[in-house]
Amino acid sequence: MKLPLGIHVGDRMTLPEIYAAAEFADQNGFDSFWVAEGRMARDGIVPMAIVAERTDRIRIGTGVVNNKSRNVALMAVTFKTLDEVAPGRIILGIGAWWEPLASKVGTPLRKPLASMREYITVLKQLFANETVSFDGEFVSVDGVRFDSMYRENKPVPVPVYVGAVGPKMLELSGEITDGVHMDFLLPPSYLEGAKAAIDRGVAKRSDGVEAIDLTQIVACSVDDSDPQEAIDHCKAFLTLYLMQQPHIAAHCGVERELVDRIQEVAGWPATKADIRKAMALVPNSLVQNVTACGSTQTVVDKLYEYHHAGVRVPVISTHGDHEQTLTRITRALQK
């Protein structure tokens, strides 16, 4: 494949569709496969484990789990187990979660940078097979390490990627992680500032690492017979995101007035009728700035635009006709 690509899957797809997409990616030279976990819809670990068992070469990551709902030691041993299923192919993608869901389940967002620093510091020590004691504001462990009586305890080669958006989290990622897994709906122009923030973090390192990986989820929809239909699928997704995660608006060039108008129509959780009504407020130009949608060539050109802006691996998230979007992008890039 001419352009390294990943695939992002979530609860828009059935589990059989997810497994079929993973097998397709494994057979067609994709770089990575990312399983989402966000809303109270589906756990990310279970399908990730099944994908790991059904594939042979592709790297498999969470896109992303959060650093609140799983104790850091449990997270470490979970990914140690996943590495047993697919040695050397597992990635831990982790984020700070989002509101209002975090508060609704009793873990409101507070000092996300400090909590992420503590969590990843301990997590990476556990992956290094160290005995860890840490007494922080958010993470506290006392003499914890991998502890198998029946197999050798050894370091686990699981890289940690942060699902970062804002400049401070991007800088922290550059300082302490292996990669950044950037969110949906950020235009290619956002990459200039994002890479600068990551580089500021990398400059603080003392471990000899001079660069970290950069992947980004890109919402994609292809319909060569009716490109507007493809645009509308991505428009529905953008509208939903602005309803549920309005913080993304400042980063993707959306005026606050538009977000307020959308949220007057619907909030969290939104119904399909709410989304259809609010979509009328969103122009095509905005959708095509932050997604890859329309004809096959338009979508491929947009993916290359992200790549040339600094994203090593654009990670496609299919909308509308999942199979058509995935297969037409793949065929175009294999010519």
- The reported pLDDT for the residue numbered 136 is 98
The secondary structure of residue 8, as a DSSP letter, is E
The Cα 65–Cα 53 span in angstroms is 20
Tell me: pLDDT of 207 over 70.
yes
The distance of Cα 313 from the centroid of its chain, to the nearest Å, equals 12
Quick one: pLDDT band at residue 253, thresholds 50, 70, 90?
confident
The Cα 189–Cα 50 span in angstroms is 36
- Cα dihedral value 313, 29, 90, 166, nearest 10: 10
The Cα 200–Cα 170 span in angstroms is 9
Tell me: pLDDT of 267 over 70.
no
Q: Note whether 158 and 84 are within 8 A (CB).
A: no
| Residue 310 phi, psi (nearest 5) | 125, 0
Tell me: pLDDT of 192 over 80.
yes
Predicted structure pTM score = 0.94
Whole-number percent of the chain with pLDDT over 90? 80
Q: Note whether 98 and 66 are within 8 A (CB).
A: no
- Transcribe 30-78 into DSSP letters: -SEEEE---STT--SHHHHHHHHHH-SS-EEEES-EESSSS-HHHHHHH
The Cα 293–Cα 321 span in angstroms is 12
- The reported pLDDT for the residue numbered 113 is 97
Query: Which residue is associated with the tokens 């979007």?
Result: 325
Q: Which of 93-102, 109-118, 190-199, 305-314 comes out lowest in average pLDDT?
A: 93-102
- The reported pLDDT for the residue numbered 260 is 86
The Cα 164–Cα 168 span in angstroms is 9
The three-point CA angle 92-93-97 to 5° equals 130
A 10 A CB-CB count for 70 gives: 15
**Secondary structure class of 132 (helix, strand, coil):** strand
**Dihedral sign for Cα atoms in the order 147, 149, 150, 154:** positive
Q: Which of 95-104, 121-130, 284-293 comes out lowest in average pLDDT?
A: 95-104
Between 248 and 6, whose confidence is greater?
A: 6
- Smallest CA-to-CA distance from 67 within 123, 125, 137 is with 123
Amino acid at residue number 42: R
Tell me: pLDDT of 1 over 70.
no
Tell me: pLDDT of 210 over 90.
yes
For residue 75 the two structure tokens come to 């997270």
Quick one: pLDDT band at residue 250, thresholds 50, 70, 90?
confident
- The reported pLDDT for the residue numbered 67 is 95
Q: Note whether 217 and 34 are within 8 A (CB).
A: yes
The Cα 316–Cα 231 span in angstroms is 15
* Mean pLDDT in residue range 255-276: 81
* Mean pLDDT in residue range 11-35: 96
Quick one: pLDDT band at residue 268, thresholds 50, 70, 90?
low
- Dump pLDDT digits (tens) for 292-307: 999 999 999 999 999 9
* Mean pLDDT in residue range 122-140: 98
What are the residues facing 132 on neighbouring strands? 144
Quick one: pLDDT band at residue 110, thresholds 50, 70, 90?
confident
Quick one: pLDDT band at residue 92, thresholds 50, 70, 90?
very high
Q: What integer best gives the mean pLDDT of the chain?
A: 94
Whole-number percent of the chain with pLDDT over 70? 99
Quick one: pLDDT band at residue 249, thresholds 50, 70, 90?
confident
For residue 195 the two structure tokens come to 């890479």
- The reported pLDDT for the residue numbered 128 is 98
Domains in the chain, please, with CATH? 6-221+293-334 (3.20.20.30)
Quick one: pLDDT band at residue 272, thresholds 50, 70, 90?
confident
Q: Note whether 57 and 84 are within 8 A (CB).
A: no
Q: Which of 143-147, 199-203, 241-245 comes out lowest in average pLDDT?
A: 241-245
| Residue 38 phi, psi (nearest 5) | -150, -80
Quick check: bond before 100 cis, omega within 30?
A: yes
Tell me: pLDDT of 99 over 80.
no
